[in-house]
Structure 1
Amino acid sequence: MDDKEVEDDDALHDPSTLGTERNSFSPARGIANIGILVILVLALMALFIAYPVITYVRRNARNLAIDNNIHINSTGQSAVLFNMPEIIDPDTPKDARTRTGFDGKDYELVFSDEFNVDGRSFYPGDDPYWEAVDLWYWATNDLEWYDPKQITTANGNLVITMDSVDDPTTNHGMQYRSGMLQSWNKFCFTTGYIEVAMTFPGPNSATQGYWPGVWTMGNLGRPGYGATTDGMWPYSYDSCDVGTFPNQTEKDQSGPAAAIHSDESKDKYDGKLSILSGQRVSSCTCSGEEHPGPSVSKGRGAPEIDVLEAEKDKAGDGQVVSQSAQFAPFTHDYLYNNDTDDDWYVYDTSISRPNSYRGSAVQQAVSGLTRVPEDMFQGSGQNMTVFGFEYWADPNNRDDGFITWVSDGKPSVRMGPGAVGPDTGTNGSQVSQRLIPEEPMSIVLNLGISTNWQKILTGTMQFPAQMLIDYVRVYQRKGSTNVGCDPKDYPTADYIAAHPEAYNNANLTGWTTTNVPGSSAAGYSWPKNSLVRILKQHSVVVTLLTFVYSTMAVDRPTYLSVLAVAGVLEHRLPSPLLSLSKAKPLYHSPFPNVPRAIQRTL
């Protein structure tokens, strides 16, 4: 037995302490510790999971509205904070949010910008719906450089300023500096009514030289980016025929005669009806070729409808606005049909008239001229004047389409689809119906200057010159809202994303060097046209059948029947195969004794 004494503080080895120790575990403290851990875990989950989800849901509508916007100011400047995520400006008066159309239908506001926040900036990334371009508009030989700093907002207006610069070397070698604002790939609309209230630059209505413009273009073309408009502008066409070909002529230049030469074409175009590259993404596009969709059988393009372009009246005093739509392919001599009021109508002949200019080898124009008030100029009152156009296009009922233009708040001129109907007569260009635009249309606001537009008389002008816009509003029929630049029936987003060089380089002038000789082209391939292949196959078949007809005792009805069967066998020959009276020569027959009517098939 160990007789050593136990230390006073050594309870572990002191038998007398057995049963007297106290349990130190505290259930309340443990629960508290676990609770704190749970709270920490929940807090982390809220921070890294719930908060991002909530933020996404709250901001998703705005994100969709500015989906294609670049979120950085490319200049590094700090723009005026502008909070207009809504597609309808809250400052738009309540009584301006609905209207009765000129077609008698009820319309509702789908977009507006009242420009009431002063000091706005429109550099890339500054605005959800607008962007000011930084480029030379070479396509119309403009004398200005478009610079984003020339556009801002002040006193409740959008202000576009044109300056005459002292030293062109500081302005890309250009004498003038101005602004162009676009909604391209940010806001688009398909059918509806667009209205602006604005003033014109210049001391009075005698001014001559400015080129104010408010217009729209199909989103597949980016204004000022020539590679994108090559083969797109101003096509509004969904037929598969010679109208889709370069110059609107057959490859061997055998016809149609109306396309080979037009007395109305200019000398610089050698009398050709058209010098366009052809419809790049036509309804003839071969399967597997690049096409924006929804299928290769849908003809697509970048049509143009102008709210206005202002100029000095060549027929008298004062100013007029040209209100027009541009089309391709072209009718012979650029003629449009005005046989009935449904085709073409002038509301007030005392101030409005048809434009004698009907187009050139790059566009066909259906246009009216209307005199404008004397007090709407920079130096003569600067009173806001309302302009716009209302249009309707239904792919399922194209006969219902129309465009009605508005000047000084009143309808000025109107056109229907019959104005640009088929041109298949004996002297026609053999094109089919051109369409009231069905593409999603973006908006352009600009102040240019070019001798392409009118003679420039600087003594009648003033600088700085300003074009003011009080508001831009877009309405659509109730129940027919269609806004956005990528609608499912006329998509554009994937096609634009697949061709970044063309849509982001304003210095390019063509899609491919094959179609624009000497151009600085994007280098993309031109989609193959199925009609070219069909015509080649068909020409061989017809030549053989004609040889049989000319050397054997085959009557004409039998020949035509065999020809029709051959057409079926040769893969989807165009339907006018047997309409010989309206046909055009497909090839030069080596058998002159064969009746001419039998040598014509399309």
Structure 2
Amino acid sequence: MSLPPHPSSSRRSRLDAYQSLDSRSPTTTPTLSPPLQPFAKRVDSFTSSSSLLSLDSPYLGANRPLSFGEQKLTSSKFTLPHNHMLYLTPDFKEDDDELHMPEPKGQRLGIERDGDFASWRGFVNLGALTLVIVAWIALFAGYPIIYHFTSHRWTNLGAFNLGGTNGTGQVPIMPFHFAVIDPDTPPSAYSKPSWNDPSTSMELVFSDEFNVDGRTFYPGDDPYWEAVDLHYWETNNLEWYDPAAITTQAGNLVITLEAKETHGLDYQGGMMSTWNKFCFTGGYVEANVSLPGLNNVAGLWPAIWTMGNLGRAGYGASLEGMWPYSYDACDVGTVANQSVNGVPVAATINGDAGNGGVLSYLPGQKLSRCTCQNANDDPSKGLLVHPGPKHGDGTFVGRSAPEIDMFEAQVGGGDVPTGEVSQSAQWAPFNAGYIWQNTSTNEVIANPSISVQNTYIGGITQQATSVVTNTDQNCYEGVLGCYSIYGFEYVPGFDNAYITWVSNNQISWTLNGAGLAADAAVEISARPVSQEPMYIIMNLGMSHNFGPVDLPEIPFPVHLKVDYIRVYQRADQKNVGCNPEGFPTIDYINQYAEAYNNPNLTTWVGDYQQTFPGNSFLGQC
């Protein structure tokens, strides 16, 4: 077995070879042997040895010996020039040396400098780096801080719903374009002329087009609307109101009434409102509606209506002594039964025939102008007895929860059953015999051929000013399913106050405020058209209190569909919010929050165990 040469002897042999090569004559060209072919005998599994060598070998057929000419040609490719060692010195300059010089910029030109202090490239690099740093800071520091101070907290208290405390009049900023004016409202609807004075323009202040399908209205789901979960016992309804009955579909709000056992009742319907979230004082509210069921089957009670924010529909304790008062005087009109010891006599006769002719069973106006002036002055109680404000003479402004109805739909019971809407307002205290001053000047019916005064004018709990108007008989779910525009426009207060109702996009009738003037027979003063911030309510239910209910013929399930709802006000009379300066509500509602959030409290005194403030007219101060 032979050993490899010693490393030192190997290096000497190579050095001797180079020196011998360099000492040769410049004309002498040494030759090198062709490279060995270590893979010449490797055979592809798909190719024969002979074909592989003949086709793929770069050496012109490695399976045969090279001829003398081929050997010469091949050796010439590997011949080195005699002075090739000259190119291996650092002093030898080649054409591409400039690309590999590491000297600082300018040194090769004899200039000693490290580069420009400022350059466009430097500025761009620095700017990009700055932007990246700022973006990261904004994302991980700025955004959480901004979100903390601008986001709105979700709770299930009606006064503090998704979007913030709407009861204060704030406008919530919502994702999914929940703005106070729906972005889907067409620009052509941003203004419209007043129905009473077409020369005056009104501007859109609120709208909901219901174009986003699948909305729900459980507490906390929506910034403006909330569905209730209760039995509307006040009118002995046959159904349970459940939030599951209300959604949006195909560009409509849809309220479903169906034969479905819910909470021990045989039917399930729905009611929702903007209570303590969106309110308005004065203006015009309209809705485009397709009515449920058929135009000739009685029993359904679809309605869109409004109420003062100090009373919450369905929450009895909040309504006792509040609904349906609209009064700002201190007299017998503020007391229980609208009388003291049988005086005035007119309050004891010609009233509700089903209750011995008595005019009123109301408990009195809880927050009247007669409230003791020092009612809020006892810090030991820690209670806000009256929400305020006060008049210049120190008396409280009379506060309440009035009601104005856009419509309540019904089917008339004449020879030919016909679809109708009752458009009304409810009042307290009451006129003698519930007869208001409905002269032709104060009660203006636009088309007597389709509109007549309602035969129902009042009872022991309310006085009604109402006109019944035939509807478009095609605009029912079970007929053609078309839509009709309903609404009302009103100016609050006493002087020049009015309410004008609209049915099928036409004026149906107008009530002028003078019709609610003082009534000497019952010793009451004038009642104003509601000055309270009003919220909107929509519902679909049934009740024998409202009229006959033909259960076998109602084609359950039935649906009230609302295409949109919009509110307009005059540019110089805009008043939006549930806590306006002149008629605050939020502090009082917060003080007595349970009355406004617990539907099982049916009365203020009995269930909620609160008291009415002292009344100066009764000598209680």
- TM-score (norm. length: structure 1): 0.74
Equivalent position of 2:362 in the other structure? 276
Does residue 324 of the first structure (1) align with residue 424 of the second (2)? Answer: yes
Equivalent position of 1:263 in the other structure? 350
Contact 2:426 2:463 in 1 (8 A): yes
Q: C-alpha distance in 2, partners of 1:84/1:137?
A: 32
Shift of 1:392: 0.6
Q: Identify which of 515, 518, 525 aligns with 1:419.
A: 515
Equivalent position of 1:197 in the other structure? 288
Taking only aligned residues, the RMSD between alpha carbons, in angstroms, comes to 2.6
Equivalent position of 2:587 in the other structure? 494
Q: C-alpha distance in 2, partners of 1:132/1:191?
A: 24
| Deviation sequence 1:30-56 (CA, Å, 0-9, x none) | xxxxxxxxx9x9999978975455436
SS at match of 1:298: coil
Contact 2:289 2:484 in 1 (8 A): yes
Q: C-alpha distance in 2, partners of 1:264/1:120?
A: 46
The correspondence of residues 462-477 of structure 1 with structure 2, limited to 5 A, is: 462-477=555-570
Contact 1:401 1:417 in 2 (8 A): yes
Distance 1:46 1:200, change over 3 A: closer
Q: Identify which of 466, 482, 495 aligns with 1:367.
A: 466
Q: Identify which of 100, 103, 109 aligns with 2:204.
A: 109
Equivalent position of 1:164 in the other structure? 259
| Deviation sequence 1:109-161 (CA, Å, 0-9, x none) | 00000000001111000000000100000000000000001000010000000
The correspondence of residues 444-523 of structure 1 with structure 2, limited to 5 A, is: 444-513=537-606, 521-523=607-609
Does residue 313 of the first structure (1) align with residue 388 of the second (2)? Answer: no
Q: C-alpha distance in 1, partners of 2:176/2:440?
A: 49
Contact 1:348 1:412 in 2 (8 A): yes
Q: Identify which of 321, 328, 349 aligns with 1:231.
A: 321
Shift of 1:328: 0.3
The correspondence of residues 42-57 of structure 1 with structure 2, limited to 5 A, is: 50-51=142-143, 54-55=146-147
Q: Identify which of 274, 286, 289 aligns with 1:183.
A: 274
| Deviation sequence 1:295-350 (CA, Å, 0-9, x none) | 35200000000000011113443111000000000000000112242x11000011
Does residue 441 of the first structure (1) align with residue 534 of the second (2)? Answer: yes
- TM-score (norm. length: structure 2): 0.71
Q: Identify which of 129, 141, 160 aligns with 1:68.
A: 160
Distance 1:162 1:60, change over 3 A: closer
Q: Unpaired segments of 5 or more residues in structure 1?
A: 1-38, 73-80, 514-520, 537-602
Contact 2:492 2:530 in 1 (8 A): yes
Q: Identify which of 403, 416, 432 aligns with 1:304.
A: 403
Give aligned pairs, total. 465
Structure number with larger C-alpha Rg: 2
Q: C-alpha distance in 1, partners of 2:490/2:310?
A: 19
Q: Unpaired segments of 5 or more residues in structure 2?
A: 1-130, 165-173, 376-384
SS at match of 1:206: coil
Shift of 1:533: 1.2
Distance 1:121 1:221, change over 3 A: same
Q: C-alpha distance in 2, partners of 1:56/1:257?
A: 63
| Deviation sequence 1:521-563 (CA, Å, 0-9, x none) | 21112100011118x9xxxxxxxxxxxxxxxxxxxxxxxxxxx
SS at match of 1:228: helix
Q: C-alpha distance in 1, partners of 2:250/2:138?
A: 45
Equivalent position of 1:245 in the other structure? 335
Distance 1:60 1:151, change over 3 A: closer
For 2:251, give the aligned amino acid: G
Does residue 122 of the first structure (1) align with residue 217 of the second (2)? Answer: yes
Q: C-alpha distance in 2, partners of 1:494/1:58?
A: 23
Contact 1:71 1:126 in 2 (8 A): no
Equivalent position of 2:90 in the other structure? none
Contact 1:213 1:310 in 2 (8 A): yes
SS at match of 1:368: strand
Shift of 1:374: 1.1
Contact 2:154 2:162 in 1 (8 A): no
Equivalent position of 2:246 in the other structure? 151
Q: C-alpha distance in 2, partners of 1:301/1:246?
A: 15
The correspondence of residues 548-567 of structure 1 with structure 2, limited to 5 A, is: none
SS at match of 2:595: helix
SS at match of 2:588: helix
Contact 2:196 2:500 in 1 (8 A): no
Equivalent position of 2:614 in the other structure? 528
Q: C-alpha distance in 2, partners of 1:55/1:164?
A: 46
Contact 2:287 2:564 in 1 (8 A): yes
Equivalent position of 1:335 in the other structure? 435
Q: C-alpha distance in 2, partners of 1:61/1:87?
A: 18
For 2:469, give the aligned amino acid: T
Contact 1:82 1:127 in 2 (8 A): no
Contact 1:141 1:452 in 2 (8 A): yes
Q: C-alpha distance in 1, partners of 2:336/2:162?
A: 36
Distance 1:225 1:275, change over 3 A: same
For 2:499, give the aligned amino acid: I
For 1:297, give the aligned amino acid: F
| Deviation sequence 1:196-251 (CA, Å, 0-9, x none) | 0011111x31011100110000000000000001000001000000000000011x
Equivalent position of 2:17 in the other structure? none
Q: C-alpha distance in 1, partners of 2:414/2:137?
A: 75
Shift of 1:71: 7.5
Q: C-alpha distance in 2, partners of 1:316/1:283?
A: 48
Q: C-alpha distance in 1, partners of 2:450/2:227?
A: 34
Percent identity among equivalent residues?
Answer: 46
For 1:390, give the aligned amino acid: E
Q: C-alpha distance in 2, partners of 1:490/1:406?
A: 27
SS at match of 1:376: coil
For 1:218, give the aligned amino acid: G
Contact 1:62 1:85 in 2 (8 A): no
Shift of 1:62: 12
